[in-house]
Structure 1
Amino acid sequence: MKGPGTVELRDIEIFLTLAEELHFSRTAERLHVSPARVSQAIKKQERTIGAELFERTSRQVALTAVGRQLRADLEVGYRQIQQAIATASSAARGLTGVLKVGFSSAWCGNLVVRAADRFRARHPGCEIEIVEMPLHDRFGALRAGDIDLQLTELPVDEPDIVNGPVIYRDQRALTVPAGHPLARRESVCLEDLASIPLITITGPPQYWLDAHLPHHTPAGRTISRGPATIAWQEALSLVAAGKGACPTSIRSARYYARPDLAYIPFLDAPPVEFGLSWPSTGESVTVRAFVGTLVETADEEGPT
């Protein structure tokens, strides 16, 4: 039974929100209640406590000394209650333990970190570990169970791996030495690949290499090969040394900027896509929940 001095948890939420907003209408809008409900809750608490919590004028709302003390005393306990409820809810839905997420590029890593922060806040019983994926081994960590899902360049065409949503579709660009004639161009086309060797990557499946490092231009001209590497930073160093060029996403111009490199956008090449993937036997409630959180985070940020 409720005693005469009982204050509902919802009323505490209303008080703390009003203490932050200092505006009845904004508080009501934020909590999806009416301004009258906010006013009623505050008056009820003031009657219970026996003192005014807010000073109200036609121009402003301000906490009284009693209100400031109550806010300080309530905030810690209220956060603990919220976290306890969130933890119990996550456990009931199976959202506990460690989820290991891989990424292949700086912008994908940044997005995963932001999504992980949001996910931890929602599901305190679940921890996220973030791992950078090697360029040469696209699926080894997934198959070994070292990670649970990854955000990497497409395509992925593996019978034991699920393709999830595409997160980024970026304009394709060509990385060339800063002193190369193509570096003075505002754009390039696929036919230009016949004029410079491509740095190759050792390790990925042939279909992945064909998608990113073609052997012929659309007109059938041969695209020669430069040195091979297994690491992205080494590929950039080979380009800077004049050993060839390397196709990439236009975002690389911002995330991997170097004075000895130039990133020239393609006019006629398909976009570079980055998508989520996970083992076909590894889809769990936690994986599905994190995929939803990551998509939500990416959608809110929009193109960057």
Structure 2
Amino acid sequence: MVDVELRELRLFLVLAEELHFGRTAERLGLTTSRTSQSLRALERKLGGRPLFDRTSRVVTLTAAGRALHDELAPVVTGLDNTLARAQTRATGPGLIRLGVLNAASGTLVLNKAVTLFEAQYEGASVRLIATPLNDRLGPLRRREVDLLVTRLPLDQPDIAIGPLLSQDEPRVLMVATDHLLAGRRDVSVEDFADYPVRRPSDVPELAEVSCPTHTPSGRPIVPFDLQVNDISELLLLIAQGRLIHPTVAPFAEHFRHPGIAIVPVRDLPPSSTALAWLKGQEHPARDTFVATVEQVLVRPT
């Protein structure tokens, strides 16, 4: 019988997902050297064949590594599901980590659901975790959060979409108060082509709805050429007149800034938000919280 530890198998699966020793080490709370040592130990225990091809820049699975991954991943997922169910039966739902980019949409539903969830189940709690502006799905895929509040549309094969938290939220444009568009009653997507625009790139289907690549007449909409790292930086750049920012009314109102005007966009569809989670993983506590959200939606008062 091969004497392999579960932590070694988990490390292998994370590395197969990340294909990067540094990111794998960060996710697991290890040093990069410790990650390499653990992988070498696993390879020795399994007969010495390499599971990864490693160069200074690229990490890829070997044929043996791919075969192990395909057989091992569902086994470890099944074990995790069994342990999660056992823990829920013993201690209640426990902690739910809920990822939010901002608190602009769905707040009323979420606040009621959190209050009800924590009141109904002993030991249950919800922790809100801010997600990055440029990597909105990353925390979910890295399992840093259990649920994510996301704008729609979202069409990703590994992500399930749950109950709607908000619907029919109008689109607006955030511009500097002295901008040429600031005094308009409303604007069109056609106006976007005349100015640098922050266009999110991490979720293409969402980006195309919130800020298309071309105007209705076919003119290209040129994206702002620098990365914007957080919301505070975004607001400063808008107020300075360096870019314009298509968004939704709740976001603009929540982050209202004295140097920024909010102008309705007349030809973009309204927006909705929903809960999302990774497919293929049982998570009783997550499912219990989702059911609580659905309960609030059925009985909003």
Q: Which TM-score band applies after superposition, normalised by the shorter structure?
A: 0.5 to 0.7
Match in the other structure for 2:284: 285
| Counterpart position of 1:174 | 173
For normalisation by structure 1, the TM-score amounts to 0.63
Alpha-carbon distance in structure 1 between the residues aligned to 2:154 and 2:264: 24
1:165 Cα offset (Å): 2.2
User: Hey, what does 1:198 align to over in structure 2?
Assistant: 197
Query: How many Å apart are 1:231 and its aligned residue?
Result: 1.8
Extract unaligned runs of 5+ from structure 2: 1-86
Does the aligned pair in 2 maintain the 1:93–1:285 contact within 8 Å? no
The 1:301–1:181 alpha-carbon spacing in structure 2 relative to 1, beyond 3 Å, is: farther
* Equivalent residue number for residue 26 of structure 1: none
Please say if residues 173 and 263 of structure 1, whose CA atoms lie closer than 8 Å, have aligned partners that are also in contact.
yes
Distance 1:109 1:163, change over 3 A: closer
Identity of aligned residues (%): 31
Q: Which has the higher contact order (CA 8 A, sep 6+)?
A: 2
- Residue 256 (structure 1) aligned with residue 270 (structure 2): no
Q: Distance in 2 between matches of 1:225 and 1:114?
A: 38
Q: Structure 1: which amino acid aligns with 2:291?
A: G
1:133 alignment counterpart: 131
Change (3 A) 1:217 1:93: farther
Aligned-partner residue type, residue 154 of structure 1: L
Q: Secondary structure in 1 aligned to 2:232?
A: helix
Q: What SS does the aligned partner of 2:163 have?
A: strand
Match of 1:98 among 72, 95, 98: 95
Cα distance per residue 1:39-74 (max 9 Å; x no partner): xxxxxxxxxxxxxxxxxxxxxxxxxxxxxxxxxxxx
| Preserved contact between residue 163 and residue 293 of structure 2 (Cα < 8 Å) | no
Q: Residues 203-218 of structure 1 correspond to what in structure 2 (within 5 A)?
A: 204-218=202-216
Aligned position for 2:55:
none
How many Å separate the matches in 2 of 1:95 and 1:240? 47
After superposition, residues 1-304 of structure 1 pair within 5 angstroms as: 95-108=92-105, 110-111=107-108, 112-169=110-167, 170-201=169-200, 204-226=202-224, 227-297=226-296
With over 3 angstroms needed to count, the CA separation of the structure-2 counterparts of 1:113 and 1:283, relative to structure 1, is: farther
CA distance in 2, matches of 1:143, 1:265: 34
Distance 2:278 2:188 in 1: 36
User: How far, CA to CA, are the matches of 2:191 and 2:160 in structure 1?
Assistant: 35
**Displacement of 1:296:** 4.1
TM-score by length of 2: 0.63
Number of aligned pairs?
212
Q: CA deviation at 1:267?
A: 1.4
How far 1:190 sits from its partner (Å)? 1.6
Deviation, 1:97, is 2.1
Partner amino acid for 1:225?
P
The alpha-carbon deviation at position 228 of structure 1 amounts to 3.0
CA contact 1:143–1:279 (8 Å) conserved in 2: yes
